[in-house]
Homo-oligomer: A and B are copies of this chain.
Amino acid sequence: MTRKPKAVERKRGSGVQIVYSILRDDILDLTLPPGSPIDEIQLSERLSMSRTPIREALVRLASEGLVTTLPNRSTVVSNIDFMNLHTFFDAMTLMYRVTTRLAAQCHTPADMDAIRARQVDFAAAVEAQDALAMIATNREFHAVIARAGRNPYYEALCLRLLDEGRRLLRMYYSSFDDQLPKQYVQEHEDLIDAITARDVDRADALASAHADQIVQQIQTLIARDKRQHISL
């Protein structure tokens, strides 16, 4: 006998936030891979709430580009556009540079504390050879730098790109589980030094090089993946 889930007492307005967070996480770590249909009714039963807050969460995700709503048909998790990855790399590199520059210009001691804390997490993830944790902590590291830059427009685009990158990296690290490059830890340390010294040009150059490294890393992974597909 399937029993209906009880309507748990919840704070008014929290429902949307819960659904949004769950879906977002599932999409970004590929628990919901690109193309997955999202059934509103199924979700509403699983989370024991009406379809209204779920639809609201979906609308928010859609306006962030994480899901695509097909009119009168199910909404699906957005695809990763491999044809135009270069636009992603281009934007990512520029945003790394711009946010790091700004952070070097106008950081506060509290910002530096936050940045260093994220770097500790990142180093730990690399040390533990935990690819998933590395992806997540790298995102947080650059997110706090972007926040320290104090430009909401740049920050928003940077966060969006970091999330998109999280999905992308997750795709390859889950299938290959590579040796995680320890040099990234040193590159982050150098970035922190440049920001601390308020050396804008050096911060810019380091961010640029760091972005190039990551781009190259991803492209290597993609190339290897393609070869593997051909060999089948």
Question: Which residue of chain B lies nearest to A62 when distances are taken between CB atoms in the complex?
Answer: B60
The reply to whether B12 and A87 form a contact with Cβ atoms under 8 Å apart is no
Tell me whether chain A's interface is mostly helix, strand or loop, or mixed. Answer: helix
Q: Interface extent on A, as a size class?
A: 20 to 34
| Shortest beta-carbon distance from A85 to chain B in Å | 11
The distance in angstroms between the C-alpha atoms of A154 and B88, with both chains bound, is 10
Asked if A153 is an interface residue, CB under 8 A from chain B, the answer is yes
Partner of A157, one of B56, B64, B90, B153: B153
Residues of A within 8 A of B (CB): 12-13, 52, 55-56, 59-60, 63-64, 71-72, 84, 87-88, 90-91, 94, 98, 150-154, 156-157, 160-161
List 6 additional A-B contacts (Cβ < 8 Å) besides A87-B152, A87-B154, A157-B157. Answer: A13-B71, A13-B72, A52-B52, A59-B59, A63-B64, A87-B151
Query: Can you spell out 9 A-B residue pairs with CB atoms less than 8 angstroms apart?
Result: A13-B71, A52-B52, A56-B59, A59-B60, A63-B63, A87-B151, A91-B154, A94-B98, A157-B157
